[in-house]
Every structure is written in C-alpha cells, then in structure tokens.
Amino acid sequence: MEVKSRPGVHTCSGDCYTAYVAENGTIVEQQRAAAEAAALASPVELGRQAYGSCQACHGAGGEGGIGPQLQGRDAGFVEMALTAYKSRETRGDRSNLMWPSAEALSARDIEHLAAFVESL
C-alpha cells in the first residue's frame, strides 16, 4: 500500500484509503504537519538543509575546497557576501562561480545559510 503521492491516492479507496489515513493521516493533515515542522525548524537547521548545494565547493563542514573556507565566518559576513553575489557583484577574482548559487537564494535562505555557517 504505497500511497505517498497524490496520483497513487486514486488507486486506494475504501478500506485501503481508511487504512492509509489511519496510518498517515489525510493529505491535508500531512501538509499541515509538514508546514508546522518547517515553521518550528530553527534557522540553523533550515540553513543546514539549504547548505546541501554549497558543500561541493565549500566542504561539508565549511572547511573550503574550490571555494574559500567558510568556517569561522560570522552571520553578518555571510549575509553581506551572499547578498553581493546575488546582485552579481564582483568581490574576488572568482565571483562568477558564486553568482548561479546566490541567484536562486531568497532573503530568508540567506539568513538561514548565514546562521548555519556561523554555527560551524
């Protein structure tokens, strides 16, 4: 009884659906729980999730690699740098490598990433 996605729900009705809801809750309940979990997650935790796309260049622990070491930087510095890259500003000689990553970030993403980097 694998009914995790909406399309699957169509194949599960009657007893199957009752059993699914008893185990997992309704889709609306699942969405509410997910939204509550996201709202409760700390900025650092949300930043940790967003950092997945940064790891390849900055290292899992912010130790650096293709990109500079981030470990040891405070939140203010990270916010300043990411905001600059988001506006395609040139900070160092390889800023172009940061533009695509920063472009996709919202102001909230930047706050969360800054909190996470500071926690490293």
Centre a 10 Å sphere on the Cβ of residue 114 and count the other Cβ atoms it contains.
24
* CA-based torsion, 109, 114, 64, 82: positive or negative: positive
- Given the rule CB under 6 A, which of 7-15, 16-24, 32-40, 97-105 is the region that contacts ligand HEC? 97-105
Residue in 92, 103, 106, 108 binding ligand HEC, rule: CB under 6 A: 92
9-16 contact pairs (CB < 8 A, 24+): none
87 interacts with ligand HEC by CB under 6 A: no
Residue in 94, 103, 106, 107 binding ligand HEC, rule: CB under 6 A: 94
Q: Which is nearer to ligand HEC, 3 or 101 (CB)?
A: 101
Least distance from ligand HEC to the Cβ atom of residue 23, Å? 36
Question: Which of 87, 83, 84, 72 shows the shortest CA–CA distance to 109?
Answer: 83
Residues 25-84 touching ligand HEC, rule: CB under 6 A, are 53-54, 56-58, 66-68, 70, 78, 81-82
**Length of the chain in terms of residues written:** 120
Written as six digits, the tokens of 24 are: 């997992």
